[in-house]
Amino acid sequence: DAKREGRGIVRVFDESMDENVKLRRSIEGGLSKAIEKGELHLVYQPIVAREGLEIVGFEALLRWNTDAHGPISPAVFIPIAEESNLIHELGDWVLEQSLDMVKDWPGQYVSVNFSPRQFRRHNFVGRILDRVQRAGVDPQRVQIEITETAIFDDADRAAETLYKLRQMGFRIALDDFGTGYSSLYNIRKFALDCLKIDRSFIDGMGRERESAAIVQSIVHLGRSLGLGVIAEGVETEAQVQALRVAGCSHLQGYFFSRPVEAAVARTMAASLYLTNGEDDLTVDPPA
Ligand code: C2E
Ligand code: MG
Ligand code: MG
Ligand code: MG
């Protein structure tokens, strides 16, 4: 009958799909059950101020540990979720957890990643405000991280959304800055608090003159627009020195701390400063 025929067609199609498509399907299927199965959790990476190196906030980063395949990177599953409505379910969960967490910290903000599709969702502003109010969290303690892709496709609408969010007190960070195709000139249109320089430029700083020059111009741009500039992916002391000289206002990366579990973040937040570890890779509070 037609039903069986339909199934047959699906099977033939299935067999002709390449491994990649199968993997995507399997990830999508697993992800749709990940929340109820308790396979998701957030880790938190400190963001420190250039002066004094105190912890001003933590970025929340999603982790997925599957029974079947072990941990799967958000760099793999977020783009897949982004292609379906799953991203909304995941995003709501991430926001809820982040708001819960920020209440445990004395004053730091939580920096939450939002994909382009989340940002463009109908009534994004109303939804996020509702969540924050219900959680009893001051919007100033929430930083919204979006990428250039999220705002430049429909710039006028994005500018309005950002303006409203900023009016309400949310912080806005432009993530992975320098990798998109935004015209630097147009950045002025958007109500932002800071630019996050993409890790690839920080990584290249010591090796190629181009990267160092790009970092320097992003810092100049940010400063002339009155924005903070966060360097992400800072791994070495040489990079810390170079970024301080360049005038970067905030730093984040493995040099200071990898993303850590909630309980560890709580301890770090309470102490305000990263304490000096035995490996001498972390930094003492100022004297
Ligand atoms: P992102 O927002 O640009 O996050 C920075 C990534 O760089 C994170 O990878 C972080 O663990 C990593 N990182 C931080 N410091 C260093 C360093 O010093 N060296 C190196 N090599 N890497 C460093 P992660 O956690 O794998 O996340 C990858 C991407 O997945 C994120 O990039 C973000 O775009 C996305 N993502 C993660 N969590 C969420 C989420 O809750 N929602 C959404 N929409 N996207 C998320
Ligand atoms: Mg981010
Ligand atoms: Mg980033
Ligand atoms: Mg990135």
Distance 238 CA to ligand 3 centre (A): 20
Question: At 197, is the secondary structure helix, strand, or coil?
Answer: strand
Distance 176 CA to ligand 4 centre (A): 5
Give this prediction's pTM.
0.91
Measured from the Cβ of residue 190, the count of other Cβ atoms closer than 10 Å reads: 22
What's the pLDDT score for residue 10?
53
Residue with tokens 């039903």: 3
Q: Measure the CA angle with vertex 260, ends 257 and 266; round to 5°.
A: 105
ipTM of the assembly?
Answer: 0.98
Determine how β-strand 70-72 pairs with β-strand 55-66: antiparallel
63 in Cβ contact with 71 (< 8 Å): yes
Measured from the Cβ of residue 32, the count of other Cβ atoms closer than 10 Å reads: 15
What's the pLDDT score for residue 281?
42
Question: At 143, is the secondary structure helix, strand, or coil?
Answer: strand
52 in Cβ contact with 274 (< 8 Å): no
Whose C-alpha lies nearest to ligand 1, atom 3? 176
Ligand 1 atom at minimal distance to the Cα of residue 252: 15
Among the residues of 225-271, which ranges form H helices?
237-246, 262-271
Residues with C-beta less than 6 Å from any ligand 1 atom: 45, 61-62, 73-75, 78, 94, 113-115, 175-176, 199, 232-235, 253-254, 259
Strand partners, 168: none
Distance 120 CA to ligand 4 centre (A): 20
pLDDT tens by residue, the chain, 287 residues: 444 444 555 555 555 568 888 888 889 999 999 999 999 999 999 999 998 889 999 999 999 999 888 999 999 999 999 998 999 999 999 999 999 999 999 999 999 999 999 999 999 999 999 999 999 999 999 999 999 989 988 899 999 999 999 999 999 999 999 887 766 668 889 999 999 999 999 999 988 888 999 999 999 999 999 999 999 999 999 999 999 999 999 999 999 999 999 999 999 999 977 764 444 444 555 44
Q: Quickly list DSSP for 11-70.
A: HHHHHHS-HHHHHHHHHHHHHHHHTTTT-EEEEEEEEEETTTTBEEEEEEEEEEEETTTE
What's the pLDDT score for residue 275?
64
Given ligand 1 and candidates 199, 230, 234, 256, which is best to mutate, with the most ligand atoms within 8 Å of its CB? 199
Ligand with smallest separation from the Cα of 45: 1
- Of 95, 90, 76, 147, nearest to 116 by C-alpha is 147
Residue with tokens 């990898």: 258
Residues 6+ apart with CB under 8 A from 230: 47, 173, 194, 195, 196, 197, 248, 249, 250, 251, 252
What's the pLDDT score for residue 13?
54
Distance 33 CA to ligand 3 centre (A): 27
